[in-house]
Amino acid sequence: MMNGETSLLEKLLLIGAVIGLGQLMVSNERITTRLLVGRMILGSAVAPLAAIPLLKFPDMPELVVIGLACALGILGSAFIEAGLKRCLDMYIKRWGSKRNETE
């Protein structure tokens, strides 16, 4: 029998895979098995990021998490990667300079 976390994770993975498949279907790219599987894997990898707010807000409704997963799946991994790099650069600039001042 599945618990709530496992069930939610499976839903998020499925949503990500379906969004990846949908994005491939509407693109002009020639559909190959490699491209199909790759897009589904990328979508499945991005969608579970929607569960991160559950760490801060454990009572968040599942529907909100699923909505976030859909949004993240549509944004795509490249957009999310660029945002994470920007946040990391800001963090390094802020805390890296303070670290050098204390040494």
Evaluate whether 22 touches 43 at the Cβ level (below 8 Å). Answer: no
Give me the domain span that covers residue 23.
4-76
Higher pLDDT, 63 or 3: 63
Lowest mean pLDDT among 14-23, 43-52, 94-103: 94-103
Q: Which two tokens stand for residue 97?
A: 């300079």
Total domains, the chain: 1
Within a domain: residue 95? no
Query: Band of the pLDDT at 1, cuts 50, 70, 90?
Result: very low
Q: What is the pLDDT of residue 20?
A: 86
Q: What is the pTM of this model?
A: 0.67
